[in-house]
Amino acid sequence: MSDVTVVGAGVIGLSCAVRLLEAGLEVTVRCADAPEDTVSAVAAAVWYPSGFPAGDARSLDWARGGFDQLAQDVIHGAPGVTMRRTRMLLRRPAPSPWWSAAVPDFRLVEHDGAQSGVTQEWQFTVPTVEMRPYLRWLIQRVSSSGGVLERRPVRTLDELATRVVVNASGLGARTLADDDAVHAIRGQIVLVSNPGIETSVRDENHPAGHAYVHPRSTDVVLGGTVEPHQYGTTPDPEVTAAILERCRALVPELAHARVLGQAVGLRPGRTGGIRLEVGPGPRSGTHVVHTYGHGGAGVTLAWGCADEVARIIQSL
């Protein structure tokens, strides 16, 4: 019997499993869906604490932990991870964000005037992740360290007999943790061919809606939508057209980029923010460590949260 059962095989669950295996614990990962079928696989996956306008001390620790680990992954050649220059356009003056302390080269500069209504921009270099190869690599790390991955749904946390359960079930936590604060945040993206773009660009206050352009090795992710409490997973053609229009205006080099596909993901949001805490398990001497509600910042915060989960479990 494993010391720990991790429920969920997205980036949150797998990063927790890796950290616990590194600590010498026996770990089983239980999941209803294969990792490549989770919302993590759809994510644009640029380090950026989306949906967290202000952070407490834990948030900064999680963000810094995520940045540092992904930066190390780049150095050690982890598949799908690279450092990429990013520009965040500002339509009104804004102070440096709370997470800037985690980013070594963050700076505020005057905008070059290329976009109407933009006065300044944040510039910084952060890790970006192509999720499918990265998730496969995490699975290999779990397996090679002696972890077990079981494709078997968990209907209730009480059915798990291990000493510690890590609840990294994302949207599933609404049922498994009986947490009505958990909800989907629907996001639609468009994938286009890459005409040679290397810099990510964001315009979160674009008058027509969120706009971001995230280049990858063979394509570019264009977005996007942020739709709380919406659960539909079929791409809307009108939304696709609107995303293309505002992203092409943002980065004119995309004017003739070929559309490769569309995708919708349901980010696991939570009113009140991330829940990361330990509680009693169903039997004497057992515990449940909850880590869910990361919204669109799962890749950004996963390793920092995994570090805290490992510390909690090692102290029990």
Q: Which fold has domain 4-315?
A: D-Amino Acid Oxidase; Chain A, domain 2 (3.30.9)
Sign of CA dihedral 189, 253, 206, 202: positive
Q: Which residues is 290 bridged to in the sheet?
A: 167, 277
Residues in the chain: 316
Measure the CA angle with vertex 282, ends 280 and 287; round to 5°: 35
Alpha carbon 198 to chain centroid distance? Answer: 21
Q: What was the pLDDT predicted at 37? A: 72
Task: Read off the tokens for 103.
Answer: 């980013």
CA atoms within 13 A on the CB side of 47: 31
269, 287, 266: which is closest to 278 by C-alpha?
287
Are β-strands 182-193 and 219-223 bridged in parallel, bridged antiparallel, or unpaired? antiparallel
Neighbours of 204 (CB within 10 A): 15
Res. 51 pLDDT band, cuts 50 70 90: confident
How high does pLDDT run on average in the chain?
Answer: 94
7, 69, 53: which is closest to 302 by C-alpha?
69
DSSP state of 104: T
Q: What was the pLDDT predicted at 1? A: 59
pLDDT (tens digit per residue) in 167-185: 999 999 999 999 999 999 9
Sign of CA dihedral 124, 125, 127, 128: positive
H-assigned helices in the chain = 11-22, 57-75, 131-144, 173-176, 237-250, 298-315
H-assigned helices in 145-176 = 173-176
305, 304, 192: which is closest to 248 by C-alpha?
192
Q: What was the pLDDT predicted at 53? A: 62
Res. 86 pLDDT band, cuts 50 70 90: very high
Say if residues 15 and 62 touch (Cβ distance below 8 Å).
Answer: no
The H-or-E segment that residue 191 falls in is strand 182-193
Asked if pLDDT for residue 289 goes beyond 70, the answer is yes
Say if residues 193 and 220 touch (Cβ distance below 8 Å).
Answer: yes
pLDDT (tens digit per residue) in 101-119: 999 999 999 988 888 899 9
Across 288-307, average pLDDT = 96
pLDDT (tens digit per residue) in 171-228: 999 999 999 999 999 999 999 999 999 999 999 989 999 999 999 999 999 998 999 9
- Tell me how far apart the alpha carbons of residues 239 and 277 are, in angstroms, rounded to a whole number: 37
Asked if pLDDT for residue 54 goes beyond 80, the answer is no
Measure the CA angle with vertex 249, ends 246 and 255; round to 5°: 105
pLDDT (tens digit per residue) in 121-136: 999 999 999 999 999 9
Domain-wise residue ranges, the chain: 4-315
pLDDT (tens digit per residue) in 5-45: 999 999 999 999 999 999 999 999 999 877 777 777 777 78
Res. 297 pLDDT band, cuts 50 70 90: very high
Q: pTM higher than 0.85 for the full model?
A: yes
Q: Calculate what percentage of the chain has a pLDDT beyond 90.
A: 85
